[in-house]
Structure 1
Amino acid sequence: MTSTNRIPRLLMLLVLAAAITACGDKSDAAHAESDTHAEDAGHDEHGHEEGGHEEGEGEAGHEEGAAATTIPAAIAETSGIRVAAVAPGSIADEHEVQGLLTPVEGHVAQVMARFPGPIRALRANIGDRVRAGQPLASIESNLSLTTYTVASPISGVILQRSASVGAVAGEGMPLFEVADLSTLWVDLHIFGNDAGHITAGIPVTVTRMSDGVGAETTLERILPGTATASQSTVARATIGNIDGLWRPGSAVRARIVVDRADAAQVVPLTALQTDEGGRDVVYVREGERYEERVVTLGRRDAKSVEITAGLKPGEQVVVAQSFLVKADIGKSAATHEH
C-alpha cells in the first residue's frame, strides 16, 4: 500500500474513534440521568408511602364505627324483616300466676233415678253433648212395673256416667253428671305480698298450657278464704269456652296487670338481641343499611321494654326477624376480618 493511500485511511480511523467516544459519553450521561430520575422516583414513592402510612395511622386512631350491614329491600321483605318506629308507650306492672279451670257453680247437674229398679237402657256416653229434656236412660220401676225415662235437666256435656245396663238403680242414685261448659271459672292462686294489691276489676290474660292460646278477661272477685293445700289467696275470673277446648281441671297460666306506667321510648321485646360482649342491642334501619345500636333498658313487661338510652324517637328499629340481621352483621364482620 502506498503512503498516499494510508493517509485517508488514518483519517477515517481517527474520525470513527472520535464518534465512538462521543457516543459513549452520551450513553453514560443518559444512564446517569436515568439513574438520577429513578432515584428521585424512588424518593417520591418512598415519600408517598410514608405519607399513606401516616394517613392510615390517623384513620386507625379514630373510634371504630358501629357494626352494620346492607340488606336489599326485596330480600328483607322476603325474609320477614319488619321495622317499627321508636315511640312512647306504656309498661305494665304484671304478675304471673297459675290456676285451675273449674265449672261455674250452678252449671253442673246430677241426673238421678226417681224410683228404684233395673236400668233397661242408657242413651249417652261421657263426652256427649246433650240438650235440656233429652232422654238419657230408661229404668223399670219396681213399684209400678212400668218403664220411665230419665232426661237431662240442662244442656251441656256428659262429664260422668255411673250407671250400666242391667244394674239396679236405687232411688236418688246418680246416673249422669252433666255440665254446661260454655263458661268456666279460672281460680288463680296468689301468694305473699302480691295478694295485697291485686283486687277485683283488673285485667288478666289466661293462657292454656296445652297450646299457648290466651283469653282476655277480668278478675271478678278475691275469695275470702285461703286455699288449704297451697296457703294461697284465690282470685277468680270467668272465661268463655265456646270452642270447648278449655277443660275443667286443667292448669293454666295467667298474667294479672296491676298498673301501667308511661315510658318515653318503647320497643317490642322481639327487637332485642345481645352482642358478643353480652350487651343489649337493637338494629336501626336507614334505607337498606342496618346498624347495630347498644341500648340501655328500663322497665319491661311481657311484650315491651323501655329504652332509656341509645335510641332517638322515630328511628326505625327491626322488630321481626332481628336475629337474621344479627347473623348477617356477624357474617360481614367475619368476612372483613379475613
Structure 2
Amino acid sequence: MENKNKIFFIIIGIVIGSAMMMFGMLIFQGNNNDELLNQQSGLSDEHNENDNLGGVIILSDSVITELGIKTDIVGPKLLQAHVDLTGEIVVDPDKLAHIVPRFAGIVKKVYKKIGDKVSKDEVVAVIESNESLVTYNVESSIDGVVLDLHMTPGEFIGDDEHVVTVVDLSTVWAELNIYQEELNNIKVGQNVDVFFDGVDITARAKIFYISPTVDVHTRTGKARVQLNNSKSIWKPGMFINAKVYTEIETVDQAVSLTAIHNFEGQKVVFVRDGLGFRAQPVTIGKTNTIYVQILTGLNIGQIYLSDGAFVIKSELLKESFGGDHGH
C-alpha cells in the first residue's frame, strides 16, 4: 500500500511539472511574437518613469524614410519678425493732373475718352474762346491715362472747371493701416512685402512715410510704400495685405515652426532619444513664419523632428488612452 502511495504522488508531480513547462513555453513564445511584430513594423515604445509625457517611440530608419519624416538640429537661427497689415492701393498725388481750360468757351472737339493713354503735351480737346472766338487746344500736362473727362462737343466750359484728369500709374502707393499697438514698431525704411489674396504676386518695397497722427474714427495710422506698376498689376482702390519686417535678430536656439506641437496642455518638440523620439516640453520666444526661438527645454545640437511628427504624436495619444500597440 505504501508503494502505491509513492507512485501516486510521483505521477502527480510529473503532471504538474509538465503543465508548468508548457505554460512557460507559451509565455516565452508570446513575448517573442510581440518583439518580432515590433521589429517588423519599425515602431515600439519604451516607458520612462520620469517622463510624464509618455515613453520613447522607436522609429526604424525604414519607417522614417517611408513616411517622409524629416529631422533637423537645434541651433542658432536668424529671425526676421514681421507685422501683418492691410491696406489699399492709391494714386500718387504727384502723378495726378487736373487739367483746366485757359479760357471759357464752347467745346469744338474731344479726341480722347476715359481709359485712353495720352502723352505729355498731346491734344485732348479743342475749345473756342467765348470772348475772342479763337480756338485753342486743351493739352495733357503729363504722360498717363485719362481717368476722368467732363466735356462733350457743343458744351460750354468755364475757365475754372477740371475738364480732364490724367493719371500716371507707372508707380502707385500702397497705403497701409497701422493699428495703435503697432505704431511704435513701424518705422520709415523698413522692408514691406505687398500682396493680395488669390494671386501669387508679391512686391517688395520700403516704407517712405508714416503719418504723424491717428485717424479719430479708426484709431489707425498710415504708412506708405511706393510700388513699381509698369505691368499695371496694382489698381487704385484694390484691397491689399502686407508684411512689414520690423526687426532682425539672431537667436541661440531655434527650431522649425512645424516642429512645435500641443500635447497634454504643453508645447512640445519631439527629440531624439536613443533609437526613438520623445515629447520634450519647451518654452518658446520670438517667432516668424519659418522658425521659433526656444527659451527652455532643448540644447544646441539636439536632433528633433522638423516635419512628420504626427506619427509619434498619435502613438503617444494611444498610450494616454490606454490603447493597444498593434504595430
**TM-score normalised to the size of structure 2?**
0.67
CA distance in 2, matches of 1:75, 1:54: 28
**2:252 matched residue in structure 1:** 264
Identity within the alignment, %: 22
Q: Look at both structures and tell me which one has the larger radius of gyration over its CA atoms.
A: 1
**2:209 matched residue in structure 1:** 221
Query: Structure 1 residues 269, 99: closer, same or farther in 2, change over 3 A?
Result: same
**2:187 matched residue in structure 1:** 199
Q: 3-state DSSP class of the match of 2:169?
A: coil
- Asked if the contact 1:267/1:305 (under 8 Å) is kept, the reply is yes
Query: Structure 1 residues 54, 181: closer, same or farther in 2, change over 3 A?
Result: closer
Query: Structure 1 residues 301, 134: closer, same or farther in 2, change over 3 A?
Result: farther
- Asked if the contact 1:284/1:292 (under 8 Å) is kept, the reply is yes
User: Does 2:30 correspond to 1:42?
Assistant: no
Residue type of the alignment partner of 2:167 = A
Query: Structure 1 residues 278, 181: closer, same or farther in 2, change over 3 A?
Result: farther
In the alignment, structure 1 segments of 5+ residues that lack a partner are 1-28
CA distance in 2, matches of 1:164, 1:331: 77
CA distance in 2, matches of 1:190, 1:142: 51
**2:164 matched residue in structure 1:** 176
Query: Structure 1 residues 124, 297: closer, same or farther in 2, change over 3 A?
Result: farther
- Asked if the contact 1:122/1:165 (under 8 Å) is kept, the reply is no
**1:326 matched residue in structure 2:** 310
Q: Give the drift of 1:41.
A: 1.9
**1:307 matched residue in structure 2:** 294
RMSD: 4.5
User: Does 2:109 correspond to 1:120?
Assistant: yes
Which of these residues, 296, 306, 309, is aligned with residue 282 of structure 2? 296
Q: Give the drift of 1:337.
A: 5.3
CA distance in 1, matches of 2:108, 2:301: 75
Q: Give the drift of 1:190.
A: 3.5
**TM-score normalised to the size of structure 1?**
0.65
Residue type of the alignment partner of 2:157 = A
Q: Give the drift of 1:296.
A: 1.6
- Asked if the contact 2:192/2:242 (under 8 Å) is kept, the reply is yes
Q: Give the drift of 1:210.
A: 6.2
Residue type of the alignment partner of 2:314 = G
**2:196 matched residue in structure 1:** 208
Q: Give the drift of 1:294.
A: 3.9
Aligned length: 295
**2:267 matched residue in structure 1:** 280
In the alignment, structure 2 segments of 5+ residues that lack a partner are 1-6, 35-44
Query: Structure 1 residues 272, 221: closer, same or farther in 2, change over 3 A?
Result: same
CA distance in 1, matches of 2:313, 2:304: 17
Deviations 1:209-237 (A, max 9, x none): 56474433222233334435435443333
Deviates most, 309-318 or 47-56: 47-56
Which of these residues, 120, 123, 133, is aligned with residue 132 of structure 1? 120
Q: Give the drift of 1:154.
A: 1.5
- Asked if the contact 1:281/1:292 (under 8 Å) is kept, the reply is no
